[in-house]
Amino acid sequence: MIVPCIDLMDGKVVQLVQGRDKALEVDSADEMLAKFAAFPEIQVIDLDAALGRGSNDSLIAHIAGRAKCRIGGGVRSAERARALLAQGAHKVIVGTAAFDRTVLEAIVAAIGAERLMVALDSKGGKVVVQGWQESTSASAEELLPQLAPYCSGFLCTYVDKEGMMQGTDLDWFRRLRAATQKPITAAGGITTMEDIRALEALNIDAAVGMAIYTGRLDLRELAREVRPESGATRRAPL
């Protein structure tokens, strides 16, 4: 499955390079919703909430009311997870909170593991948290089996290539695929249809942002990869 991304900051849709530098900005979320209408699911990340400097709740509710969304960013309590479901989220993405077992268990108790995705974002070989500002001592490969009982799947971002449009690290994703049977969505540097099809051959979904916004990937071509009856991505030869 191909999952287009909407990242929010200061009430606008943005794309960042490695979570730091703003590369582009779109005033209207509705413009992106119209462009993404052919896709079965959209990924929405509140960057302000992830960085602990506010939220974009009204915009999130607006988007979630118009599309099937998985939503994350700053979800560090059961109350926040419940609030996102109330705003219309189909699934909630948790990153930093997954490292506090008490908080993670409270979130699972509040919304159920089937509505929860865990984000494991890797930079320099180690998982990073707090909006990618802090590094942990653990690798994603180590954490996948430990966290699998708490969620319905994983969002795994290769931060080293995020927003750089240089391709992603397929070897890393192969190692992740070997570490868990849970669904995985890949993000970070996905630039070409070859990247997407290589991931799909590994049974890994692709969350795509910068390559769409800059026109490197053509939305019409991406939409042709979607099977309307299932929302899955067509398997194509590499």
Query: Longest Cα pair distance anywhere in the chain, in angstroms?
Result: 45
Whether 195 is a known active-site residue: answer no
Closest CA to 147 of 205, 82, 101: 101
How far apart, in Å, are the Cα atoms of 93 and each of 27, 59, 114, 185? 24, 17, 11, 11
CA 152 to chain centre: 14
Q: Which of 46, 121, 195, 205 is catalytic?
A: 121
| Whole-number Cα distances in Å, 116 to 100, 104, 144 | 15, 10, 14
Active-site residue flag, 100: no
Q: How many CA atoms lie within 13 A of 213 on its CB side?
A: 28
Q: Across the strands, what pairs with 120? A: 156
In angstroms and rounded to an integer, the radius of gyration of the C-alpha atoms of the chain is 16
Burial zone of 208 (CB within 10 Å; 0-12 exposed, 13-18 middle, 19+ buried): buried
Up-side HSE of residue 99: CA atoms within 13 Å toward CB? 17
Q: Spot the catalytic one: 7, 46, 48, 205.
A: 7
Pairing assessment for the beta strands 42-46 and 134-135 based on DSSP bridges? unpaired
What residues act catalytically?
Answer: 7, 121
